[in-house]
Amino acid sequence: MSKGLGGGNLGGFIKHAQEMQKRIAEVQENLKNRVVEGSSGGGMVTAYVNGHQEIVKLKIDPKAVDPDDVEMLEDLIVAAVSQAVKKSKDLQKEELGKVTGGLSIPGMM
């Protein structure tokens, strides 16, 4: 008779799942302190985003500030933030993938 998940392997499966959950929590905590950057306009606007997709800093070169063309500055900010958020999501996926072995867990990525 095969033990499968119902036999003696269930305890091992649960223990493995708990260990993975703990490692995922550690990775998520570490991601809070990891920062990536995205820039636009040849570096005139740089957005810094942590591994939780939170903007932690925004740097704007004074040359990018033109009162007659605010729309351009807005576009540069959106582009820089979008790039940084994408990099942050990629970082999160990569780091969590190391723990989960590439297994996609709903709500985690």
User: Given this model, what pLDDT does residue 103 score?
Assistant: 63
The model's pLDDT over 41-79, given as tens digits with 9 standing for 90+, comes to 999 999 999 999 999 999 999 999 999 999 999 999 999
Over the stretch 10-29, which tens digit does the pLDDT of each residue have?
888 888 888 888 988 899 89
Q: Would you place residue 102 in the very low, low, confident or very high pLDDT band (cuts 50, 70, 90)?
A: low
The reported pTM is 0.75
C-alpha angle 39-40-41 in degrees, rounded to nearest 5: 140
Any idea where the domains of the chain sit in the sequence? 9-100
Q: What is the topology classification, in CATH, of domain 9-100?
A: Ybab; Chain: A; (3.30.1310)
Q: How does residue 40 score in pLDDT terms, banded at 50, 70 and 90?
A: very high
Write the Ramachandran bin of 40: left for phi over 0, alpha for psi from -120 to 50, otherwise beta: beta
Residue found by looking up tokens 């985690």 in the block: 108
**Rounded to 5°, angle at Cα 68 from 65 and 70:** 55
